[in-house]
Structure 1
Amino acid sequence: MKRISLLIFIALIGMSGCAVEEVVTAEETELIVAEAPPAESMLLDIGIIQFDAGIPRDNDPSDTGIYEDIRAAESNYLAYHLKSTLQGTGHWGAVRVVPSRQAFTDVIIDGQIEESDGEFITLKIDVSDSRGERWYEKEYSTQTGISSYSQNRDRRQDPYQKVFNDIANDLRTYVAQLPSKSVQQVQQVSELRFFAYMSPDAYGEHLLTDKDGITSAVRLPAENDPGVARLRQIRERDRLVVDTLNEHYANFYYGIAIPYHSWRKTAREEAINYRQVKRSATMQALMGAVVLAGSLAIDTDSGGRQTRNVNRSLQNIGIGQGLETIFASFSRRSEATMHLESIKELSESFGAEAAPMVVTVEGQTRRLTGTAASQYESWRRLLKEIYEAETGFVDTEGVTAPSRLPEPSG
């Protein structure tokens, strides 16, 4: 009986060395696109704040798998891809990536990356409007599949596209149930917030914020107020600056598209390989120990001469196979560590390729890094100083937008 059991275990060891291929078919969500252009007066503008990278305090990449260079790049890349997805639905006015909440707009989207490793993605999305009304907060997740990174895929679709389509559809569902009066109030408050920022003495009392932080317009300025026309002109200049910043976000997005895609594809494969190797190593070590113990327990001294020879041969085979399997498990664990090192090297390489962009605004060269919000705030202060100094704006004065990088074909 012991001989039969040992033979079964030896056979199982051989089978356990075969890796089980993981094939995951990614789920899809169809994006809801406007069948006809909505009335322009009902289109809300959206500002998407650069996503929070979601890097834990005292982050150790070897434990968390979170590499700061990757996450920093993703916080811009994913925000811009959401912009592109929303803009393509036809349900909204201008959709922009904004450096901070100071970019007064109708709807603000805050996002945080909870997980992103090429295989899994989880984003926490918080949506609110200019009045301070929170629309909703929700987590969106998906798991990619082999086809997500196929050479034959639709290159316009990101491997994480399901998440972006889910966000876009939920936003559409929410705004569709808003009364037209609420949409107008959102637009009025966003405009008056800008007016009050630029000229608090003249327009500060047009808004009222209650104890819950909800802002409403208590009165509207007259349409023939010359100050209104001028402030609207200034606001268009401000939007032009934000549009210019978006060209640089676009250059960053298209510039890192290929290395980021390659990193995600390889990181996904490495993560799956790591799990397979780890599972196989554990199973092999367990089986190897059982076979080794079983082999040592075989009685090689009892029975006839032929029986003793068979038992001794079987024992030697079992001991050899058991030791070989245990050593193989050590080798596989070493291989698993190598996979993690490979992911780390890819992350560091990707971070080097995703260098910050340089932007020139109003003759001053600025770097679009984590300090973009403070740079935009400097621009806002400049606008206010010009307004307060009664310096006129001329239509020909503008901001030079950077040349758009070509979209990657790979």
Structure 2
Amino acid sequence: MDMTPPTQSQQVLPEELLLDVGVAIFDANVPEDYDEQIDKLIQPEVRRAEANYMPYVAKSLLQSTGNWGAVRVVPVRSDAVDVTVNGKILESHGERLRLELTATDATGRRWFTKEYTALASKYAYSDTMPADTDAFQAVYRNLSDDMLKFRESLPPDELRRIRSTAEMRFARGFSPDAFGEHVAVATTGNYVLNRLPAANDPMLERVRKIREREYLFIDTLDEYYAEFQRRMFPSYNGWRSANYAETVAYRDLRAQSNARMLGGALAIVSGIGGIYGSDNGFVDASGLVAITGGVTLIKSAVMKRNEAAMHAEVMREVASAAESELMPYTMDLENQAATLQGSVQDQYQQLRTILRRLYYEDLQLPVPPEPEQPGGTEPAAVLPDDTSADDPVTSAHTR
């Protein structure tokens, strides 16, 4: 297991140039087809829990580097952050983790999309490993290093532009009439900063107060994800450990089964060819022996495949046993006289509605209907790169 720490920047940046990072909840990537779930050994409930667990692991490692401003887990895309990390779980079990991760800044520029892979050894789950150490830490470390590398390629003026664009997008989401012309969407889908309001603009001051309230709520959500990660880790690590042994056994049995099936089929073909290709009785007899031997090999292969299926079922049973502890719990949050209820996503939407109402009440104006896509409430999405929307997905494999 690679325990190399993430890179820490040698650049000294003033606080106003440190980019705030939001790690969005990952795409669980659960196939709708049940047979495909079985074939890929995916337990949907566990995979969805992983989609909430892994962002907090990534967030914690990014925050530990000191390379960024505030690093938070966000349930939906938010204009309250400068850089957003989106992820999709491609493969996850005790032996291997494969994620597709994308970093995008507030201007809509995609920093990169990469596939990260890490393999765990049997020692990753031993009692000698430090507590709370993730078996696939290399994935998150490499993400951190790649983000730092890109950030260090940007000049200070560009960092300032990213932060200003994020603020104007947030302001436009609350008051399109006042801030709609400050930032525009280009044909590429990227955001162009046209101008900034005066530093003492009273409407901007109100927007900043609203933004601080959203930060407080996100920080509360961060505590929720921290508690979820803490409660999930023991059972999840135990599931991974058991899953590791079962995955290795399952893969080996599948390989043996395929080899035996192929060998049996070749033996049958050889035997049939021997019978029909000769008038010699001895050859006929040897051909029958070959057929019988081939059938025996195929029967053995079927038994091996059934044994592999048994191991796969054990893996799913282990996951089901942990299911009740892995599922996130519903959180009630009181903000002044309002109570936010439902899922985290529902609470976030309710918060944005309340903050928008408070913004207009503070201005003593009627609250207009919400726009179709108010800033920060749509689902997490990746905007196209301004240089090429068809950048190939690159790979970074670690062991």
| Structure 2 residues without counterparts, runs of 5 or longer | 272-292, 365-399
Does the 8 A contact of 2:107 with 2:190 survive in 1?
yes
TM-score normalised per structure 1: 0.75
Is the partner of 1:253 in helix, strand or coil? helix
From 202, 212, 218, give the equivalent of 1:226: 202
What is the match of residue 175 of structure 2? 199
What is the match of residue 99 of structure 1? 75
Does the 8 A contact of 2:90 with 2:98 survive in 1?
yes
C-alpha displacement of 1:333? 3.9
- Post-superposition Cα deviations, 1:90-130, rounded to whole Å, max 9, x if no partner, equal 10001111111134310011100011111111111111111
From 254, 259, 267, give the equivalent of 2:243: 267
Does the 8 A contact of 1:27 with 1:142 survive in 2?
no
- Post-superposition Cα deviations, 1:139-197, rounded to whole Å, max 9, x if no partner, equal 11111111211211133431111111010000000000101000000000111111111
Does the 8 A contact of 2:340 with 2:347 survive in 1?
no
Does the 8 A contact of 2:45 with 2:327 survive in 1?
no
| Structure 1 residues without counterparts, runs of 5 or longer | 1-25, 295-320, 393-410
- Over the residues paired in the alignment, what is the CA RMSD in angstroms? 3.0
From 352, 367, 372, give the equivalent of 2:324: 352
Quick check: 1:44 aligned with 2:19?
yes
What is the match of residue 396 of structure 2? none
Quick check: 1:58 aligned with 2:33?
yes
Is the partner of 1:379 in helix, strand or coil? helix
From the superposition, tell whether residues 143 and 88 of structure 1 become closer, same or farther in structure 2 (CA, over 3 Å): same
Is the partner of 1:123 in helix, strand or coil? strand
Does the 8 A contact of 1:281 with 1:333 survive in 2?
yes
Correspondence list, 1:11-22, <5 A: none
C-alpha displacement of 1:258? 0.7
- Post-superposition Cα deviations, 1:62-112, rounded to whole Å, max 9, x if no partner, equal 222111111100001011100001000110001111111134310011100
From the superposition, tell whether residues 335 and 184 of structure 1 become closer, same or farther in structure 2 (CA, over 3 Å): same
- Range 29-38 or range 165-174, more displaced: 29-38
C-alpha displacement of 1:391? 7.4
Quick check: 1:178 aligned with 2:154?
yes
Correspondence list, 1:367-382, <5 A: 367-368=342-343, 372-382=344-354
Does the 8 A contact of 1:356 with 1:367 survive in 2?
no
- Post-superposition Cα deviations, 1:190-242, rounded to whole Å, max 9, x if no partner, equal 11111111222222211122211221221111112222222212111110001
Give the Cα–Cα distance (whole angstroms) in 1 for the partners of residues 340 and 347 of structure 2: 10
Quick check: 1:109 aligned with 2:81?
no
From 248, 255, 258, give the equivalent of 2:231: 255
Quick check: 1:241 aligned with 2:241?
no
Larger-gyration structure (1/2): 1
- Post-superposition Cα deviations, 1:256-275, rounded to whole Å, max 9, x if no partner, equal 10111111111111011123
Count matched residues. Answer: 341
More relative contact order, 1 or 2 (CA 8 Å, 6+ apart): 2
What is the match of residue 390 of structure 1? 362
Give the Cα–Cα distance (whole angstroms) in 2 for the partners of residues 359 and 103 of structure 1: 23
From the superposition, tell whether residues 137 and 326 of structure 1 become closer, same or farther in structure 2 (CA, over 3 Å): closer
Quick check: 1:366 aligned with 2:341?
yes
What is the match of residue 306 of structure 1? none
What is the match of residue 51 of structure 2? 75
